[in-house]
Amino acid sequence: MELVGGTGDVTRIVCLGEAMLELSQMGEPGGVPADTAWRMGYGGDTLNTAIHLARFGHDVAYMTALGTDGLSGDLVEKWQAQGLDCSLVLRHPTRQPGLYAIATDDAGERTFSYWRDTSAARALFEGGPVMGEALARSCAEVGGADLLSFSLISLAILPDTGREALLDLARDVRAKGGKVALDGNYRTRLWDDAATARHWRDAAIAVADFGLPTLEDETQISGEDTAEAVAVHWQELGCGETVVKLGAQGCRLPDGTLLAPPQRLDPVDTSGAGDAFNAGYLAGRLRGIGPASSAAAGHAIAGWVIMRRGAIPDRDHGAPYGAPAAAAPSG
């Protein structure tokens, strides 16, 4: 695949989707009980990827809709502090951000509860007198991006008109020479049924240059039970380059090679692991680094994330945010 930039280039990336307020458990064994200690933060699959990409040194804008309330303003300030360009964040006059809570068991596995049915992000492409002018300006700017990244969740939260608008935006990016990345995040509760989800997933795959599905999700949505079957399906639908995520087992590269993480970890919290992998992989590919080395960068950042609480842990000295495998071989 022809890449957006070469090694060392800073590319313009737009990540689009829903970001929400996050309640996550803080308790540690022997400390405050986990079910009584909660931390307020923020998260969302495409937002998590956006922040990691910004930490890798890319120019990243986030496109979503929030409210005009104080919590929405606080979210924008926090995202800007993470290095995101928030000029594409629309403000809905009567809606607020969604909320989700993460309960984590002793194995680091998560249970989510959501309050998002009337979130501002669901009205992102509403237009009209509410946000029409701001939406038109934002879409025009997105059209000039080097990369547009969104997920199946980004589509799931929208009405059909919004879904069509998002896919049209992806087509516009490609028509102007940019690339499109699609994460196949499938959440059953966000769809009326699997057939509807498959329809929109397939339409999105057809406009994607980088496909980042997860085997578990694909098995649920359409029955493929091997990474190879998933990759073949995505490629047949038109996706240029597909990496199938396999959780703790690693990933299947576009050439069919299986790449495992360097070591098996005992996770503290698996929130945002796939989102982090996406960022590491895309950061590498956009710098001209080959799929294997880019996937290794994805495994590194995902491994760092799952050993800390929350989908977006604070940076520390162990955070692997150098230019991903910049000196590594291209294969």
Q: Which of the residues are catalytic?
A: 275
Beta strands in the chain, from DSSP E residues, in sequence order: 12-16, 20-25, 38-43, 59-66, 89-91, 99-104, 110-115, 147-151, 179-183, 210-212, 241-242, 244-245, 251-252, 258-259
3-state secondary structure of 224: coil
Q: Are 52 and 280 in contact (CB under 8 A)?
A: yes
| Residue type at 245 in one-letter notation | K
CB within 8 A of 97, min separation 6: which ones? 19, 20, 21, 66, 67, 71, 72, 75, 119, 120, 121
Q: Are 155 and 16 in contact (CB under 8 A)?
A: no
Residue 118 CA, chain-centre distance (Å), reads: 21
Phi-psi region of 88 (alpha: psi -120 to 50; beta: other; left: phi over 0): alpha
The residue with tokens 């945010």 is: 321
Q: What is the side-by-side order of every strand in the sheet holding 38-43?
A: 38-43, 20-25, 99-104, 110-115
User: Using CA atoms in the order 303, 205, 149, 301, what is the torsion angle rounded to 10 degrees?
Assistant: 10
Tokens of 211: 């496909």
Task: Tell which residue, 108, 111, 112, has the closest CA to residue 268.
Answer: 108
